[in-house]
Amino acid sequence: MTDSQYSAPAAPETAPAKPRRRIVNRILWIAGPAVVLAIAGYLWVTGGRYAGTDNAYVQADHVIVAPQVAGRVIEVNVDDNQAVKKGDVLFRIDPEPRELAVAELEAQLGAIGEFLDASRDTYRGAVADLRSSNANLANKQAQLERMKALRERGIVAQKMLEDAANEVATARGERDSDAAAVAKNRTMLGGSVETPLDKLSGFKVAEAKLAQAKLDLEHTVVRAPIDGVVGKTALQPGDFLAVGQAAMPLIANHLWVDANFKETDLTHVAVGQPATIEVDTYPGRTWHAHVESISPASGAQFSVLPAQNATGNWVKIVQRIPVRLELDDSDQGGAILRAGMSAVVEIDTGKQNTLLGRWFGADEDNHDIALHR
């Protein structure tokens, strides 16, 4: 058999690919819109439930430590960024001038006590003098009456009668002077010679001055008013501080987050709603929090020069409303939050955007939002 006479068997005919392509196209035409509708439905259902903003920052209470008495600093016990507890000594002011003032006032208080005790003796002496002057006045008046009787009978001269009248006037003046001395001493003793020493006004004034001097002495030791961390300070021994002069900042350990939401995002936000916080410094970490309070006014209302929207050319601008978020778990395995850090906040309002909710009022729990703000 020659090669020309030999013929290879014919290859089997392949099935057409068009039916398979049609099936794939049909699946894509059906599944594609279904996926789009599912995503759109999910976004519609969850739309409006979460309110978020990246205009948020970690905040903390901060205190500017300042002395209550003036003086020269003799000791500084803390450094920059040092953690302190409430009551820890931050620095000391020279106490010697206050110690001298306390010693002086203690001596004055003792002297005032002795003076008031002496006033009691003076009062008793004045009372005795008043009794003597009263007796003398009565004697002089009796002599004057006798002189008048003798003068009517012509036994004594007119001059003797006048002398007796002058003696009565002199005795009356002495009596009045002694009576004034008794009243003066009684007033100094609080109206009664038996008034206790600590109830007398003069003694109270001296006690108050001494108490103030002792308080000033205590204030020469400046202590931390709260738990926190000392900020940057340049205070050194030898510096002179006036009353109220800033010495060092102290940042409290208690932290929270202030988020400035657009006013249009606060429709369903209320106090107590849960929130999540992410801090730029720690990517991937999430802190849980809740809405503590909502500001009664926009941030612009608290500015030194608030906007005058009723004058000039007006342009509407969406305002920002500060919302305070209290952290539920500030400890995140060594991730330390610090005041001023930038954050991203998302609040779960719990709003259900469904047709049944629209028809049957599934959002009744949110009707009291305005009452909680």
The answer as to whether 137 is a domain residue is yes
Q: Which of 229, 245, 261 is the last residue of a domain?
A: 245
Residues 84 and 226 both lie in one domain: yes
Give the per-residue pLDDT at 352. Answer: 65
Give the whole-angstrom CA distance, residue 109 versus residue 214.
13
User: Which ranges of 153-279 does DSSP label H, i.e. alpha helix?
Assistant: 158-188, 201-218
Q: Which CATH number belongs to the domain containing residue 260 in this structure?
A: 2.40.30.170
Residue 13 inside a domain? The answer is no
Q: Which amino acid belongs to residue 327?
A: L
CA distance 220 to 216: 7
In a domain, 346, yes or no: yes
pLDDT attached to residue 81: 92
My answer on whether 211 and 358 are in the same domain is no
Residues forming a β-bridge with 56: 259, 343
Compute the distance between CA of residue 324 and CA of residue 292 in angstroms, rounded to an integer: 5
Strand-pair partners of 228? 84, 252
The two beta strands, 274-279 and 342-348, are antiparallel
Write down the pLDDT at residue 127: 76
Same domain, 140 and 232: no
34 found inside a domain:
no
Q: Which domain range does residue 225 map to?
A: 67-94+220-245
pLDDT of residue 191: 61
Pair 160, 306 in one domain = no
Answer yes or no: do 174 and 309 share one domain.
no
Angle at 289 between CA 342 and CA 278, to 5 degrees: 35
Do 314 and 359 have their domain in common?
yes
Distance CA 168, CA 275 (A): 99
- What is the per-residue pLDDT across 203-249, written as a single tens digit (0 to 9) for each? 888 889 999 999 999 999 999 999 999 999 899 999 999 999 999 99
DSSP 332: B
Element (DSSP H or E) covering residue 62 = strand 50-65
Residues 102 and 84 reside in one and the same domain: no
- Separation of CA 240 from chain center: 27
CATH number for the domain harbouring residue 75: 2.40.50.100
Q: Are residues 256 and 342 in the same domain?
A: yes
From 306, 300, 336, 341, select the one nearest 321 (Cα to Cα): 300
Residue 192 lies in a domain: yes
Residue 17 lies in a domain: no
Say whether both 128 and 195 belong to one domain: yes
| Weakly modelled stretches of the chain, pLDDT under 70 | 1-18, 42-48, 121, 187-195, 332, 352-373
Q: What's the CA gap between 369 and 354, in Å, rounded?
A: 19
pLDDT at residue number 340: 92
Domain count, the chain: 3
Q: What is the phi-psi region of residue 175: left when phi exceeds 0, alpha when psi lies from -120 to 50, beta otherwise?
A: alpha
If asked whether residues 102 and 133 sit together in one domain, one would say: yes
Residue 171 lies in a domain: yes
In a domain, 72, yes or no: yes
Based on the fold, state whether residues 293 and 272 are members of the same structural domain: yes
Predicted pLDDT at 133: 80
Q: Do 56 and 105 belong together in one domain? A: no
Per-residue confidence (pLDDT) for residue 366, from 0 to 100: 44
| Per-residue tokens: 104 | 């002086």
